[in-house]
């Protein structure tokens, strides 16, 4: 078997292929008899992304008062074809191309650690634990690009209440599925699997922190972390663990995948902060995925625009040290 270990420091930043160029290249490659047939049968999306829009089902939700208003939504096509999901490969197009092999049923989420009693939630009952809301959030990747995504889910706090954490629980750790038979990137990408992320308890209990099951009007496409992920809108995207199978309540700050990989580049807190640059690039501005060229760069907002709601969580903390 060919094992390719990617350069662990090779997080592309400035050299990310513009979406438009990517689309054109794909369209070019897909051209020909098969592409033409797909176009005739199914329309443009199927032509541009043959067999890559993974099976989802419609998911009903109610609009949430916690939605961010006044923003232009990123297209479904961009949200599902410009991804980071290293279990399926290191490049932005890899998750869409490879995540079809992920099996999202049956799916269980185990709860353990500092809780009254260990519990296991079946995904279908987890989705019914609380009414599903549609929440539009800004989404900011540490690589200095951003999207606006209409997620579907409910506040993680609703789930945490059902877990009966003990007072000794100070942090929550999220662990993603670690199955190389479904996730080809696990063998080829040099990260410490399973993907691990964590939040301080008060961050996890904040109403904006979303346990997420869908986007737009449907269940999460595999490449976006089906069947369940976390979304923390004021933090860099890597804090939002995908395809979660275990939630662990712990006493001490848990280890996290990107902090393990390069602790000087990716801190535990990773709050979006225009005043604290990544060692290899600026965080002052961000590239808006899908925007026309002349509107592509915008200033980065403190806490990704959620400062009014979350700045209090970090009162008295030096955010340059606690990056």
Ligand X SMILES: Nc1nc2c(c(=O)[nH]1)N[C@H]1C(S)=C(S)[C@@H](COP(=O)(O)O)O[C@H]1N2
* DSSP 8-state assignment for residue 295: G
Distance of CA 263 to the CA centre of its chain: 20
Residue 33's CB is within 10 A of a number of other CB atoms, namely 7
Region of 16-24, 80-88, 260-268, 292-300 interacting with ligand X (CB under 6 A): 80-88
| CA pair distance 161, 163, nearest whole angstrom | 5
Work out whether 84 is an interface residue with ligand X (CB under 6 A).
Answer: yes
Q: Tell me the backbone φ, ψ of residue 298, rounded to 5 degrees.
A: -135, 155
The answer to whether 109 and 246 have CB atoms below 8 angstroms apart is yes
Per CB under 6 A, 94 contacts ligand X: no
Q: How far is the CB of 237 from Mo ion (least distance, A)?
A: 4
x-or-dash string of contact with ligand X, 165-204, rule CB under 6 A: -----------x------------------x---------
Q: For residue 250, give the 3-state DSSP assignment.
A: strand
Comparing CB distances to ligand X, the nearer of 64 and 83 is: 83
What is the distance, to the nearest Å, from the Cα of residue 83 to the centroid of all Cα atoms in its chain?
8
Residues 147, 145: Cα–Cα separation, whole Å: 7
From candidates 107, 238, 269, 303, binder to ligand X by CB under 6 A: 238
Nearer to ligand X, 52 or 87 (CB): 87
Kindly state whether residue 114 participates in binding ligand X, applying the rule CB under 6 A: no
Considering only residues 16, 141, 215, 289, which one is a binding residue for Mo ion as defined by CB under 5 A? Answer: 141
Among 102, 126, 136, 141, binds ligand X (CB under 6 A): 141
Q: Identify what 86 binds: ligand X, Mo ion, none; CB under 5 to 8 Å per kind.
A: ligand X
Q: Could you tell me the smallest distance in angstroms from the CB atom of residue 1 to Mo ion?
A: 28
Count CA within 13 A, CB hemisphere, residue 316: 0
Q: Which two tokens stand for residue 79?
A: 């949200």
In the bound state with ligand X, the residue whose beta carbon lies nearer, of 145 and 314, is 145
- SS3 assignment, position 270: coil
Which lies closer to ligand X via its Cβ, residue 56 or residue 84?
84
DSSP string, 36-59: HHHHHHH-HHHHHSTTTS----B-
Tell me how far apart the alpha carbons of residues 87 and 228 are, in angstroms, rounded to a whole number: 15
CB of 189 to ligand X, least distance (A): 8
Given 93, 237, 290, 305, the residue binding Mo ion (CB under 5 A): 237
Regarding 87 and contact with ligand X (CB under 6 A), the answer is yes
Residues that bind ligand X in the complex, under the rule CB under 6 A: 83-87, 141, 176, 195, 224-225, 237-238, 240-243
């Amino acid at each position: 078997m060919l094992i390719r270990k990617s350069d662990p420091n090779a997080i592309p930043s400035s050299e990310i292929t513009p979406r438009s160029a990517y689309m054109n290249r794909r369209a070019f490659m897909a051209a020909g008899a098969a592409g033409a047939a797909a176009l005739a049968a199914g329309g443009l999306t199927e032509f541009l992304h043959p067999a890559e829009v993974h099976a989802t089902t419609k998911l009903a939700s109610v609009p949430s008062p916690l939605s961010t208003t006044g923003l232009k939504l990123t297209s479904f096509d961009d949200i599902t074809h410009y991804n980071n999901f290293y279990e399926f490969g290191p490049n932005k197009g890899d998750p869409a191309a490879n995540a079809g092999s992920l099996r999202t049923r049956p799916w269980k989420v185990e709860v353990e650690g500092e809780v009254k009693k260990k519990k296991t939630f079946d995904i279908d009952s987890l989705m019914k634990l609380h009414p599903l809301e549609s929440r539009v959030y800004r989404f900011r990747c540490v690589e200095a690009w951003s999207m606006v995504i209409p997620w579907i889910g409910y506040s993680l706090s609703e789930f945490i209440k059902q877990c009966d954490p003990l007072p000794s629980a100070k942090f929550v750790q999220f662990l993603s599925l670690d199955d190389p038979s479904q996730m080809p990137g696990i063998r080829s990408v040099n990260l410490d699997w399973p993907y691990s992320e964590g939040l301080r308890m008060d961050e996890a209990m904040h109403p904006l922190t979303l346990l997420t099951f869908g986007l737009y009007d449907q269940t999460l496409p595999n490449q976006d972390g089906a069947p369940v992920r976390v979304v923390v809108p004021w933090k860099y995207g890597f804090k939002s663990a995908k395809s979660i199978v275990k939630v662990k309540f712990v006493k001490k700050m848990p280890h996290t995948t990107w902090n393990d990989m390069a602790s000087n580049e990716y801190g535990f807190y990773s709050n979006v902060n225009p005043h604290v640059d990544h060692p290899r690039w600026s965080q002052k501005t961000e590239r808006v995925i899908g925007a026309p060229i002349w509107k592509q760069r915008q200033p980065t907002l403190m806490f990704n625009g959620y400062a009014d709601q979350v700045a209090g969580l970090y009162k008295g903390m030096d955010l340059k040290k606690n990056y």
